[in-house]
């Protein structure tokens, strides 16, 4: 069983081969802690691990069933030294876990043992299941400790390792997912791969359990070493072969975008919304691609499919109607029963998609959902510095002390009646489908079961009054729910995902006219720039408790650059454009594929694995190349430097073969390609704030376009930007009144103070958004 976080089969990512894994200078630390199967534990190492455990403080609760009298853990392994919440979850397993690194790899070579590599993340349900069933099992742990070097990896810290070995899993005809389980030679070449395995034969109907598999592989390693090594070499050779970048082609035409739209339309669920079958993932970039198609071609069908999907997700159980925010995915076609974890990257992208939906249709529900998600992030996912945590778990504690998926988020009629007056409890039951039998293991997931208009008619009130009553009731339920044991939160700060959320806050602040969201974005961006970089100014992938972990990857740079460009537009602050160009210079110097165009995932002086990944297709998180392509177009428009646009063209050309062959797998790249083929405009609105400036901004807000940069401010603000944005040099508020300038590559239309003229210059005329009430 897998945790299917890659919706719909996508083309395999393109890799760049590295001929061999060089020898590492680190010496093997062959000391062993006191764990099952360890014949001669090191007293010195055991003391080190005990001291490290005590350093976590008196409130530290070991995550293990193996406890000594008094509550101390019976076992501790080297993961206790790590900062990753996922790795720390496994620090007291009886398994002799090691973090990935030269010491662990040197130990495997020194002991001539295969490597048992387990990759997962802290909020992964089936990772938890495999931990409880297998990694807490002393017999299985003893066998691993005697015959393997066991390594744990947090995929969110090391996406390069995750991508590489997931590719191997897929090559060996195993369905991908997490936990990922691979067995490697001491030199890191895979010869066995899979995902979740039950502990023993027959459990969950499995023919072979993990213990039997481990024994069989050890037997083969001892009796048929050459055959096994030949298999590993073959898999590695296929990885290298698949990693050879295709020669760059021409920049694809818009026909590739149109083909992707047709492919998406063919998978559309016209009854329940969404694309494809269960399990259904939000896929916000695919929704955005359909919205863009609707705006570009006037294709009402594309807009309708996108809008109906946004409504279905917001009305279903995928959305947390009490606390805000979206769960990971829906296990059914109705968007009713979710997998209950919440990921920062999903919610950031969904805010962006709902803002697109609001701009394209004027539906106030979409703006309301975006606000509720951002408010959830402020309440529950923001650290004291203003940065954003990574995720919350699917599992939560029941009153009996057992971990169950979704318990925290579900309700019974009795719980509603205990929290609310009888009439309000009845309204909530009707609106959100709460019944005695429930819709999820005897409890009820909230969803929009009864239309607001129907309920208002039954209650003898108007929709606005009912909306207020429901909102007040949900606020009460939120306070009641907050008394329950909350799901585990992963508190690490991931640069790429923070970039996504900063972009979402900044864009929401600009589009919705809410300065408080822009302030949130500024606070987070300032903190990220201050705390997520080393002394040379290079990004860390993650930080936890102030400790930087791992050099940043392509998506960290691309995500933060996107955020800084959006914040430049939302705030008019020149500092953010300067920071964006500085980070782009680092990306160009250390990650650029000079020969073929596009960017590698890791820096040129990073750890050399079997292959150096060059991300292509868009999955749950967009490819860093897709994000970088639009960043480069925006930088070109802002700075007037043509080399940025040329680099964007080379990104498109580097992906041309796969993009043309599998266009549906590249929705975020196609958004950038659509912008490339459009009139890419530079727009300035110069003048003091007030009603006249707001009238000009209203035109821009209701005529959305990815092929546009917009700078807003008074003469002093935009004058400070003019050093980096040369086309601003002669743009002033005429007669002291707000004035709009529309330009294309420095060639400008006549300045105007008239909103209708501005709309004509932009090439789009649309009616004002609806201002009706949004449904809670």
Provide the pLDDT confidence category of residue 284 given band limits of 50, 70 and 90. Answer: very high
Say if residues 135 and 95 touch (Cβ distance below 8 Å).
Answer: yes
Q: In this model, does residue 9 exceed pLDDT 70? A: no
CATH placement of domain 77-243: 3.40.30.10
pLDDT of residue 770: 34
Listed in order, the ranges of the chain carrying CATH 3.40.30.10 are 77-243
Dihedral over Cα of 457, 460, 465, 470: its sign: negative
Q: What is the mean pLDDT of residues 152-163?
A: 97
pLDDT of residue 21: 36
Give the range among 329-343, 538-552, 579-593 with minimum mean pLDDT: 538-552
Provide the pLDDT confidence category of residue 11 given band limits of 50, 70 and 90. Answer: very low
Q: Which helix (H) or strand (E) holds 743?
A: strand 739-744
pLDDT of residue 404: 93
The total number of residues written for the chain in this structure: 776
pLDDT digits (tens, 9 = 90+) for 306-320: 999 999 999 999 999
Q: In this model, does residue 17 exceed pLDDT 90? A: no
- Averaged confidence pLDDT in the chain: 93
Closest CA to 446 of 404, 418, 474: 474
Closest CA to 568 of 725, 756, 704: 725
In this structure, how many other beta carbons lie within 10 angstroms of the beta carbon of residue 400? Answer: 6
pLDDT digits (tens, 9 = 90+) for 617-652: 999 999 999 999 999 999 999 999 999 999 999 999
In this structure, how many other beta carbons lie within 10 angstroms of the beta carbon of residue 561? Answer: 26
Provide the pLDDT confidence category of residue 26 given band limits of 50, 70 and 90. Answer: low
pLDDT of residue 772: 35
C-alpha–C-alpha distance, residues 438 and 423, integer Å: 20
Say if residues 356 and 460 touch (Cβ distance below 8 Å).
Answer: no
pLDDT of residue 372: 99
pLDDT digits (tens, 9 = 90+) for 211-235: 999 999 999 999 999 999 999 999 9
CATH placement of domain 679-776: 3.40.30
DSSP bridge pairs for 395: 405
Q: In this model, does residue 773 exceed pLDDT 90? A: no
pLDDT of residue 539: 98
- Residues of the chain with pLDDT > 70, as a percent, come to 95
Q: What is the mean pLDDT of residues 393-408?
A: 94
pLDDT digits (tens, 9 = 90+) for 663-704: 999 999 999 999 999 999 999 999 999 999 999 999 999 999
C-alpha–C-alpha distance, residues 765 and 15, integer Å: 44
pLDDT of residue 25: 46
Q: In this model, does residue 468 exceed pLDDT 70? A: yes
pLDDT of residue 776: 59
Q: In this model, does residue 447 exceed pLDDT 50? A: yes
Q: In this model, does residue 380 exceed pLDDT 80? A: yes
Burial of 660 (0-12, 13-18, 19+ CB in 10 A): middle
Q: What is the mean pLDDT of residues 583-596?
A: 98
Rounded to the nearest 10°, the torsion over CA 686, 692, 695, 701 is 30
């Amino acid at each position: 069983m897998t945790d299917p976080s890659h919706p719909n089969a996508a083309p395999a990512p393109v890799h760049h081969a590295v001929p061999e894994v060089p020898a590492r200078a680190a010496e093997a630390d062959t000391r062993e802690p006191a764990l099952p199967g360890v014949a001669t534990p090191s007293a010195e190492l055991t003391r080190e691990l005990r001291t490290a455990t005590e350093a976590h403080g008196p409130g530290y609760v070991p995550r293990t069933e193996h406890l000594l009298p008094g509550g101390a853990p019976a076992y501790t392994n080297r993961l206790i030294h790590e900062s990753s919440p996922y790795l720390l979850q496994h620090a007291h397993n009886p398994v002799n876990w090691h973090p990935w690194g030269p010491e662990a790899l040197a130990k495997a070579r020194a002991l001539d043992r295969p490597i048992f590599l387990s990759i997962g993340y802290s909020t992964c349900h089936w990772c938890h299941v495999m931990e409880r069933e297998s990694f807490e099992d002393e017999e299985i742990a003893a066998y691993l400790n005697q015959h393997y070097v066991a390594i744990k990896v947090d995929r969110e810290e090391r996406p390069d390792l995750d991508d590489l070995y997931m590719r191997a899993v897929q090559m060996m005809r195993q369905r991908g997912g997490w936990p990922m389980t691979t067995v490697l030679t001491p030199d890191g070449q895979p010869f066995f791969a899979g995902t979740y395995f039950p502990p023993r034969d027959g459990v969950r109907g499995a023919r072979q359990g993990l213990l039997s598999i481990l024994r069989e592989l050890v037997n083969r390693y001892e009796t048929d070493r050459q055959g096994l090594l030949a298999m590993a070499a073959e898999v590695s050779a296929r990885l290298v072969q698949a990693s050879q970048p295709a020669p760059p082609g021409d920049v694809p035409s818009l026909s590739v975008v149109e083909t992707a739209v047709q492919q998406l339309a063919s998978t559309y669920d016209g009854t329940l919304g969404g694309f494809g079958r269960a399990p259904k993932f939000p896929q916000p970039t695919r929704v955005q691609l359909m919205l863009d198609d609707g705006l570009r071609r006037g294709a009402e069908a594309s807009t309708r499919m996108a809008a109906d999907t946004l409504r279905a997700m917001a009305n279903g159980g995928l959305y947390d109607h009490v606390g805000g925010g979206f769960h990971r995915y829906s296990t059914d076609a109705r968007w009713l029963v979710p997998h209950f974890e919440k990921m920062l990257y999903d919610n950031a992208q969904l805010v962006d998609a709902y803002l697109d939906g609001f701009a394209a249709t004027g539906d106030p529900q979409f703006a309301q959902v975006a606000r509720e998600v951002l408010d959830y992030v402020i309440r529950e996912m923001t650290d004291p510095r203003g940065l954003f945590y990574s995720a919350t778990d699917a599992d939560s504690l029941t009153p009996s002390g057992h971990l169950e998926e979704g318990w925290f988020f579900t309700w019974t009629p009795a719980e509603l009646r205990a929290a609310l007056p009888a009439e309000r409890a009845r309204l909530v039951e009707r609106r959100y489908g709460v019944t005695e039998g429930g819709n999820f293991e005897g409890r009820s997931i909230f969803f929009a079961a009864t239309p607001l208009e129907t309920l208002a008619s039954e209650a003898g009130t108007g929709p606005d009054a009912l909306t207020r009553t429901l909102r007040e009731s949900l606020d009460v339920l939120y306070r009641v729910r907050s008394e329950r044991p909350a799901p585990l939160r992963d508190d690490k700060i991931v640069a790429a995902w923070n970039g996504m959320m900063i972009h979402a806050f900044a864009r929401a602040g600009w589009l919705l006219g809410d300065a408080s969201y822009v302030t949130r974005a500024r606070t987070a961006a300032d903190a990220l720039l201050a705390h997520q970089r080393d002394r040379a100014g290079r990004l860390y992938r993650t930080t936890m408790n102030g400790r930087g972990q791992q050099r940043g990857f392509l998506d960290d740079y691309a995500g933060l650059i996107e955020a800084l460009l959006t914040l430049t537009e939302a705030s008019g602050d020149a500092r953010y454009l300067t920071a964006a160009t500085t980070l782009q210079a680092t990306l160009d110097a250390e990650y650029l594929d000079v020969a073929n165009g596009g960017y590698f995932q890791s820096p040129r002086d990073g750890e050399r694995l079997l292959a150096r990944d060059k991300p292509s297709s868009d999955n749950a998180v967009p490819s860093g190349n897709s994000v970088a392509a639009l960043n480069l177009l925006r930088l070109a428009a802002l700075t007037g430097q043509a080399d940025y646009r040329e680099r964007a063209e080379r990104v498109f050309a580097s992906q041309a073969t796969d993009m043309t062959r599998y266009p549906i797998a590249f929705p975020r790249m196609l958004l950038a390609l659509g912008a490339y083929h459009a009139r890419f405009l530079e727009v300035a609105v110069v003048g003091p704030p007030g009603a006249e400036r707001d009238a000009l901004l209203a035109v821009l807000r209701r005529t959305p376009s990815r092929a546009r940069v917009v700078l807003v401010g008074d003469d002093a603000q935009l004058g400070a930007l003019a050093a980096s944005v040369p086309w601003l040099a002669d743009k002033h508020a005429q007669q002291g009144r707000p004035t709009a300038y529309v330009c294309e590559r420095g060639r400008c239309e006549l300045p105007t103070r008239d909103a209708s003229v501005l709309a004509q210059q932009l090439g789009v005329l649309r009616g004002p958004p609806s201002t009706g009430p949004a449904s809670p």
